[in-house]
Structure 1
Amino acid sequence: MNQKEMANTVAELVFIPAPGVGHIMSTIEIAKLLVNRDQQLSITVLVIKPPPSSGSGSAITTYIDSLANKSIDRICFIELPQDENLPIRDPKAPTTFFNEFINSHCKYVRNVVTDMMSQPGSGRVAGFVIDMFCTAMIDVANEFNIPTYVFFTSNAAFLGFKLYIQTLCDDQNKDVELSNSDATIPVPSFVKPVPTKVIPSIMQAREGLDFALWVARKLRKAKAIMVNTFLELETHAVESLSSDSSIPPVYMVGPLLNLEGGAGKPLDDDVLQWLDSQPPSSVVFLCFGSMGSFEKVQVSEIAHALERSGHRFVWSLRRPPTKETPTGNPSDYEDPRVVLPEGFLERTAGIGKVIGWAPQVTLLAHHAIGGFVSHCGWNSMLESLWFGVPSATWPIYAEQQMNAFEMVVELGLAVDIKMDYKKDMAFNPKAEIVIVTADEIEDGIQRLMADDTIRTKVKEMSEKSRAAVMEGGSSYASVGRLIQDFIRNIS
């Protein structure tokens, strides 16, 4: 193919994100980055709507509608149909249900790609870019002889952990014990041994471990893996992955952040005006993600900790799903007084604000925010580093405990409130509900706001995160190599 032909060629990419707001948002960011970097690329995003019972469909629909209204050049969205007879949800086997749910969309993906390839004048499909939870789509891509790239929305250290556990089980025939709370496991992508107490609950049950192993095996069949991280943040993990010849090439493409804010309402004017009047780096921001919520007894402990700490605060307080919708998403309280200690709002009126859903990027970007009490979702960790705001870790579910371990112990970029806290009742319904005490929370907040060493390190990492995505930066160069790989697929 000569240069003139190459200049007129459009390489089509098929993106398949997992049906979760955080996954879709970061997927859209890498899609926008790719089409902005190279005019030869165009992208079709195949949207898998969540199961009706998940409670998260409306948030995803709102977000996708907002993107469609913005009309992003050379990115289009197709919502896939959903089977009328969905797999039966078994509370004892949540990962099996999820896997079968994703698999039920394979035929619709196949139909869309067949239609794309039959359109006259359309570009060559250069690759599938699939979410880490949609690895079943590798088989569909193989039917069309199209290479698959996995977009890993978590970090490089966790990717290394998943692949290492699979190696132990499959290649070394070891019976891996992941539920011993006092044990540690040496993992190549971590400098320090990983405590089993921070391993995701899903992998501490047989059904969940089997699913994780299946995903890891699929990951090894991808042409390459894209990770939302950057070399300067996870130097050891990146070098560990790059030196392992059994792992596909790994491209560090982050930090990929939606700095325009996602779905949801903007920050109330009175909260914004109050923040504008506060001293720089004086306010603690508490936010636990789109799925984070606590029962009344835990809310009371947080309130007492905030009041006793004396620090200014903005607290995103969400109502837990009801018994009628246990798999739904948290919602906002009409009146938070129903769960807060009596008189709390009146006593803290001058130093704090209790809000509902929070536009997290808007808050982290504000000069008054000096600390972030977080659930440690990877997107949130990257956002806090981008804006130079140190974190106190309070993970809740998924791989968040391992994110907390990496941030606190491995990298020294956060302080710990309760690193091994878990609220994964779907995976361990018999687990005892742990209450983090007001003393523990207050101590974490005091250390968060007083530790100048961590604050300095976070500010330095903020500069590195921004440099990584600029021309000449490590992630900028990595994305360039990735694009060349896409173009070679059609040449």
Structure 2
Amino acid sequence: MKRSVVLYPGLGVGHLTPMVELAKVFLHHGAAVTVALVEPPTNSPDFSAAVARAAASNPSVTFHVLPPAPADPSSSDGGISSAHHIVLMFDYLKAMCAPLRDFLRSLPAVDALVLDMFCGDALDVAAELNLPVYYFYASGAGDLAVFLNLARMDTRTTFAELGDSLVSLPGAPPFKASDLPKEISQGSPGAKPILGALYRLPEANGILVNTFESLETRAVRALRDGLCVPDHPTPPVYCIGPLVSEGGEKEHECLRWLDTQPENSVVFLSFGSMGTFPKKQLEEIAIGLEKSGQRFLWVVRSPGNPEDMLRPLPEPDLDALLPEGFLGRTKDTGLVLKSWAPQVDVLRHRATGAFVTHCGWNSTLEGITAGLPLLCWPLYAEQRMNKVFIVEEMKLGVEMKGYNEELVEAEEVETKVRWVMEYEGGQALRKRVAEVKGRATEAIEEGGSSHAAFVEFLKDLDNMSLL
């Protein structure tokens, strides 16, 4: 009998994208897949566009938008103006448990519910309906190892007091306390719900991780040895990645522009679906790119709060945001795009030679599988931790210095861009990434480690249904 699974990606494009890739793997193995979608509480063109693209590209997957949760009568604006955005997100996801429960009950059969890491309240829905429940951890095994530990540390520990002091945890190289997500390192109101969600990860029947074993050997070993959850059995951990989009955009203007550029000559700068900078930082990037003399393709978003996924941004006014005359002076060597680019297609284009990235895990894997050296510029969430793993553990990138001081200066942009494109160190880095790209390809092929892990997961799921 055909397996039927429901995937529940929570809020945000960055969480939807890898879950859609997971849906494709389930389809490949003969399962019927439904993705239960949570619509953002405020209108989000980015999210709507991502859902439309996903549905059009995957006709065999059912996409179901859950009805909104009942409105809170005590709040006229849904709390958007008063609550911390992380607290608001978790409250919203908790309220969505009722529509999720009703939807699951309406289906003729569900063999498993697969949750995003932030959807821990849905564990209770699965328990009520007696459903096997798994997490899909869309970031890396290193992050998972660190955050499982953090969630169970003495709550009297305040990371804000540790500053740049080094922290040592199983599965990770020593890292600065300040490399943790700001909500945790600075003790914001968002820390409690984040750590609460992470605390519940071991309650699941297993954790699917979007990585491959040879990329994160130390972290995977620590997870499987139970070193990251000292007071609870660690559920099975299945490394099933890299799951990245196949791309397929052909008509976008930037791809036609790349077609006219020499091989490996273009630096691509893109900072994710929520990555934004103030005008001053955009000006520094522009000056650095111009002085470097390198060809570039740069995605610019309007300034805003990069951690507030609930507020859509207006289209950027490039003439107002960038230095006067910049677009004209660089028209022969660079292209600036507003808000979005077909990133996977750009990264895999023969003309692209390096990737300036915010170190979101989706982008990290897309860069690795394209064989590009990474210039690391983390902005929010777990991206500082990803930077540590990319630079210190995987040795696939270098740091753009200054992001911790809130301003990366033009000189640093110029220096690093020229280094990665012109100097021997950049060439050595490119060779190293090419080797890892090969291992990534092998992992997901039949007989590879990630393919075998997914087969093992399906066998375990079938065994659970017999209990």
Q: TM-score, normalised by structure 2?
A: 0.91
Secondary structure in 2 aligned to 1:355?
Answer: strand
Q: Pairwise mapping of residues 338-377 of structure 1 onto structure 2 (< 5 A)?
A: 338-356=320-338, 357-377=340-360
Aligned to 1:201: 182
Which one of 456, 471, 485 corresponds to residue 446 of structure 2?
Answer: 471
Offset, 1:419: 7.2
Aligned residues: 449
Aligned to 1:439: 411
Which one of 31, 38, 53 corresponds to residue 48 of structure 1?
Answer: 38
Q: 1:194 to 1:321 in 2, by over 3 A?
A: closer
Offset, 1:70: 4.6
- The two structures, once aligned, show a CA RMSD in angstroms of 2.2
Offset, 1:331: 4.3
Offset, 1:381: 0.4
Offset, 1:63: 2.6
Which one of 52, 68, 81 corresponds to residue 65 of structure 1?
Answer: 52
Offset, 1:84: 4.9
Q: Does 1:189 align with 2:164?
A: no
1:72 maps to amino acid: P
Q: Whole-Å Cα distance in 1 between the matches of residues 192 and 216 of structure 2? A: 27
Aligned to 1:400: 383
Q: Whole-Å Cα distance in 2 between the matches of residues 321 and 11 of structure 1? A: 43
The 10-residue stretch of structure 1 (437-446 or 220-229) with the greater mean CA deviation from structure 2: 437-446
Q: Pairwise mapping of residues 32-47 of structure 1 onto structure 2 (< 5 A)?
A: 32-37=24-29, 39=30, 41-47=31-37
Partners of 1:11 and 1:486 within 8 A in 2: no
Aligned to 2:226: 244
Q: Does 1:165 align with 2:165?
A: no
Amino-acid identity (%):
35
2:123 maps to amino acid: I
Q: Does 1:28 align with 2:9?
A: no
1:229 maps to amino acid: T
Offset, 1:10: 2.3
1:200 maps to amino acid: P
Q: 1:147 to 1:375 in 2, by over 3 A?
A: same
Partners of 1:320 and 1:331 within 8 A in 2: no
Partners of 1:292 and 1:330 within 8 A in 2: no
Q: 1:385 to 1:71 in 2, by over 3 A?
A: closer
Secondary structure in 2 aligned to 1:225?
Answer: strand
Partners of 1:14 and 1:128 within 8 A in 2: yes
Offset, 1:224: 0.4
The 10-residue stretch of structure 1 (441-450 or 87-96) with the greater mean CA deviation from structure 2: 87-96
Q: Whole-Å Cα distance in 2 between the matches of residues 361 and 300 of structure 1? A: 26
| Deviations 1:352-396 (CA, angstroms, capped at 9, x unpaired) | 111222111111011111111111110000000001011101111
Q: Pairwise mapping of residues 277-288 of structure 1 onto structure 2 (< 5 A)?
A: 277-288=260-271
| Deviations 1:414-448 (CA, angstroms, capped at 9, x unpaired) | 01103753xxxxxxxxxxx8222111221221222
Which one of 264, 269, 294 corresponds to residue 311 of structure 1?
Answer: 294
Offset, 1:91: 4.7
Structure 1: gaps (5+ residues) = 1-8, 422-432
Q: TM-score, normalised by structure 1?
A: 0.86
Secondary structure in 2 aligned to 1:370?
Answer: strand
Partners of 2:266 and 2:296 within 8 A in 1: yes
Partners of 1:415 and 1:448 within 8 A in 2: no
Q: 1:134 to 1:261 in 2, by over 3 A?
A: farther
Partners of 2:114 and 2:134 within 8 A in 1: yes
Offset, 1:105: 1.1
Partners of 2:69 and 2:98 within 8 A in 1: no
Aligned to 2:230: none
Which one of 430, 444, 463 corresponds to residue 488 of structure 1?
Answer: 463
Q: 1:206 to 1:341 in 2, by over 3 A?
A: closer
Q: Does 1:378 align with 2:369?
A: no
Which one of 106, 125, 133 corresponds to residue 115 of structure 1?
Answer: 106
Q: 1:326 to 1:404 in 2, by over 3 A?
A: closer
Partners of 1:266 and 1:359 within 8 A in 2: no
